[in-house]
Amino acid sequence: MKKSILYSAMALSLGMSANANALEFLYDAGGKFNQNKVNKVVANAGGSVLDCIEEISVCKVEFSTLEAAKSSGLNVVPNASAFIPKIENVPVGAQLTVAEDYLNPPNSADDDFLFDLQWGHQAVGAVEAWNAGNRGKGVRVAVIDSGADGGHPDLAPNINIELSRSFVPEETWDYAGPDSFNHGSHTAGTIAAADNGFGTIGVAPEAELVILKALSADTGSGDSYGTMQAMVYAANIGADVANMSLGLSVRRNGLYDIEGTPYDTSDDIQFETASIAQFIQTYGKAANYAKQNGVTLIASAGNEGTDLDHSDSLMKLPADLPAVNSISALGPRLWGKDSATFTDHLAIYSNYGQSAIDFAAPGGDYTSAFMSGGFDACNVAGLVRPCYVFDFVFSTGNGGWYWSVGTSMSAPHAAGVAALIIGANGGNMNPTHVEAKLRELAEDMGKPGRDDVYGHGKVQAPK
């Protein structure tokens, strides 16, 4: 694990908005940061400064109207909503025992009694990595998501409470919402649930988790600025990997959602189409800063089932940024009936595209719900469910565990593999070298070289 760097006041809070109808924007101040100068420039342009990220000279500012921002003469773009991509999920009450040994699911006899439900570990070769002594020890992983259940027995042993933070107003990092389906708990568990003789096991079970809440546990939404804060903070605390199973609501036609309704364009605001390049430049400063300071960035590719090589609609950010690795989702079909079945079909919902996908990883699928036998009763690890359910990804939730599918689930599998790679290298590794090792180890499953489904290949753990 790298030593922490730059413990400066990353976000300079300058007060909340006094105007409930004001609109928020991202302002790229450029150059060396000077708070007094920024305050003066923004005020002279008719706006107010709400907060700044000193390290990248980007501020959250507000203007009374959209037209006021457009005519300000400043490099401002809307503070677009961040959100959890739409997913399918099935709840599970899991207080059932199965029985230890590092064998592959569903016959591992592991004392983490729900491990037999985690087919994704076999798909990425996690168990073989563990047997080779690679378990993620000494690696710090930031989970930029909707917080997590800090008291969960599978998560608590690996969470660094002191470093975990919330960038969502009025929500603590460990507030995980009103029900079991906490997205951040699920992704955190896939990455590094503890191998503690209880419940599930993460891909890198000895990695350290830092929970960085950028999305509300209640609404599943946040804003671009919060995710930028989290990326910069992750770099400042010496995180080795950051997982971002989230998206930003920015469309190529200049529509920005700022209301937390990413799939409804009726309440979007229209900014110049040319502003898209400015938004990517401004937002990308946080990702570039993180990567330059040692953080390997992983993000979900999105769940629209879209060929991203030929899409003119919702952009895939942060996944499309050059500093970020975009992960598509794979899944089996009727794994509950046959654990030897192929687990690497492109999931029915997963985005794809040769120019967009860097790697593929297990994200679960529901194709088998439309197949003969999909609704038959299957029994895995003592749990009886419709067979298609076992093709989902099983992981930790708020006060329990649950199944879910999505590129939100594939990204943390890749993040866990990245943690295993870094751990195998002694716990410190430049992101460029991590990405090179991911490419070297990846299983090339499509056409030779980079392809539209698997990118450089399906991620594989170091053996």
Partners of residue 212 on adjacent β-strands: 144, 165
Known catalytic membership, residue 408: yes
Which residues, including other chains, have CB under 8 Å from residue 109's CB and lie 6 or more apart? 98, 99, 100, 101, 103
The CA distance from 81 to 373, in Å, is 40
Look up tokens 């649930």; give the residue: 193
The CA distance from 232 to 239, in Å, is 10
Known catalytic membership, residue 180: no
In the 8-state DSSP scheme, what is residue 391? G
The CA distance from 61 to 24, in Å, is 6
Which residues, including other chains, have CB under 8 Å from residue 27's CB and lie 6 or more apart? 38, 42, 47, 49, 58, 59, 60, 61, 74, 75, 76
What is the chain's length? 463
Four-point Cα dihedral 300, 236, 124, 113, nearest 10 = -100
The CA distance from 399 to 92, in Å, is 11
The DSSP line for 36-60 is HHHHHHHHHTT-EEEEEEGGGTEEE
Dihedral pair phi/psi, residue 407, rounded to 5°: -65, -15
The CA distance from 185 to 252, in Å, is 32
**If you compute the radius of gyration of the chain from its CA atoms, what whole number of angstroms results?**
21
Q: Which of 57, 185, 300, 408 is catalytic?
A: 408
Which residues, including other chains, have CB under 8 Å from residue 432's CB and lie 6 or more apart? none
- Classify 352 as helix, strand or coil: strand
* CA angle in degrees (0–180, nearest 5) for 30-242-197: 160
Known catalytic membership, residue 183: yes
- Written as one letter, the residue type at 311 is S
The CA distance from 140 to 163, in Å, is 11
Q: Which of 28, 110, 112, 145 is catalytic?
A: 145
Q: Is 237 left (phi over 0), alpha (psi -120 to 50) or beta?
A: alpha
- Classify 423 as helix, strand or coil: helix
Tell me how far apart the 2 most distant CA atoms of the chain are, in Å: 67
What's the Cα-to-Cα distance from 219 to each of 146, 214, 216, rounded to whole Å? Answer: 9, 11, 5
Q: Which of 183, 186, 413, 456 is catalytic?
A: 183
Cα(first)–Cα(last) distance of the chain, in Å? 20
The CA distance from 10 to 18, in Å, is 23
- Classify 265 as helix, strand or coil: helix
| Residues acting as catalytic residues | 145, 183, 408
